[in-house]
Amino acid sequence: MIADRISNTTILFADIVGFTKLTESMGAEPIVALLNKLFSYYDDLAGKYGLEKIKTIGDAYMVAAGVPKPSQRHGDQIAEMALEMMSYTEKVAKESGMDIRLRFGINSGTVIAGVIGKRKFQFDIWGDCVNTASRMESSGVAGKIQVSESTFELLKDNWSLGPRGYTEIKGLGKRKTWFLTGAKSTLENVA
C-alpha cells in the first residue's frame, strides 16, 4: 500500500451535460470516438500544465494539480486547463453540430493520495477536498466553471471570477461559490 497526505492541491471535475440523452441518439462507435477525441485532448492539456489525470468515469474527467508532484501554482494550473477544456469542447460542439457542454467543479485543499488494491493498480486521491470538488461540479451550471471559496482565495488576484452567491451543495449545505471566467492578465503574468 502506498499512501500520503498532500496539502496544497486543486482538484477539477468536468462532466458532459446531458450525456445520457446524447448516447441514446448515437451509436456506440460515434460515442466512443467523441469521448476519445475530447479526453485525449484533455490528457494533452494535463501534460502541458503538469497535472495528474486521476481518472475518467463514464463521461466525467478528473484531474489534480499539486499531486504527486508539489506545485505552488496548483490553482493557476487548473484554471488554465479548465478554460482550455471549455474552449476546445465548444469548438468540437460547433464543428459537430452537437450540443456538447461541460459543467465544471473546482476545489482546493488537502487530499490523501495513494495506490490501493490488488489488481489494476491506479494512483487515486480521497478526502473532503475531492468530495467538495465533485459537489462543485454536480451543483454547477452547464458551460460554467464553478469554484469553491478555497479556490477563489487562490485565484482572486490573477483571475476573473464572478460571484454566484450562496449555493446549496448536497451534503455540505450552503456554500459561497464563484464562476471562473478568464485571466485578469496574460498567462505569463499569472506564472
Active-site residue set: 15-16, 59
CA 2 to mean position of chain CA atoms: 24
Paired strand residues for 182: 160
- Say how far apart CA 156 and CA 162 lie, in whole Å: 10
By C-alpha distance, which of 115, 101, 170 is closest to 139? 170
Q: Is the peptide bond before 30 cis (omega within 30 degrees of 0)?
A: no
Residue 115: left if φ>0, alpha if ψ -120 to 50, beta else—which one?
A: beta
- Say how far apart CA 79 and CA 85 lie, in whole Å: 10
Paired strand residues for 4: 113
